[in-house]
């Protein structure tokens, strides 16, 4: 699950992930991997074994940040987060504000991870994959 969360949150344009349905392993495809050719051949050869992991949905990520603001009790911090939410780099703005004003962004990280876990479970279910979690 930890690998799936990482893959679901990775916004790097160069990284593509596949779930190996036989082993449960998350496989990274990146142009600078030494075994890239072998890996892509393996994925192409056995398409039923590998499931493409979708890229992060920026709109849903932005919605998550909007909902996170409502969990904050401090009105001043809420106001700052609302301003950051309007910017082009909302997540990094949130993290900076939370570290500066509250000393940590751990609550935000846990909040986003819970949201990602929900999406992962929905994605797995939509692909007829059952998990023990």
pLDDT digits (tens, 9 = 90+) for 48-85: 888 889 887 888 889 999 999 999 999 999 999 999 99
Torsion of CA 94, 97, 102, 104, to 10 degrees: 60
pTM of the entire structure? 0.76
| Residue range 13-31: mean pLDDT, rounded | 86
**Whether pLDDT at 132 is above 80:** no
* pLDDT, tens only, 105-131: 899 999 999 999 999 999 999 988 887
- pLDDT, position 99: 93
> Which pairing describes strands 50-53 and 26-29: parallel, antiparallel, or unpaired?
unpaired
* CA–CA separation, 74 and 100 (whole Å): 13
- pLDDT, position 37: 66
Strand partners, 20: 50
């Amino acid at each position: 699950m930890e690998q799936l969360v990482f893959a679901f949150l990775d916004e790097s344009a160069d990284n593509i992930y596949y779930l190996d349905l036989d082993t449960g392993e998350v496989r990274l495809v990146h142009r600078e991997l030494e075994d890239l050719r072998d890996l892509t051949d393996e994925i192409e050869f056995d398409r039923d074994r590998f499931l493409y992991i979708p890229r992060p949905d920026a709109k849903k990520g932005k919605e998550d940040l909007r909902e996170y603001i409502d969990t904050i009790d401090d009105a001043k911090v809420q106001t700052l987060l609302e301003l950051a939410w309007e910017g082009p780099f909302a997540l990094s703005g949130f993290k900076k504000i939370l570290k500066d004003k509250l000393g940590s962004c751990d609550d935000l990280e846990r909040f986003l991870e819970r949201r990602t876990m929900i999406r992962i479970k929905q994605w797995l279910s939509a692909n007829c994959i059952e998990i023990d979690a």
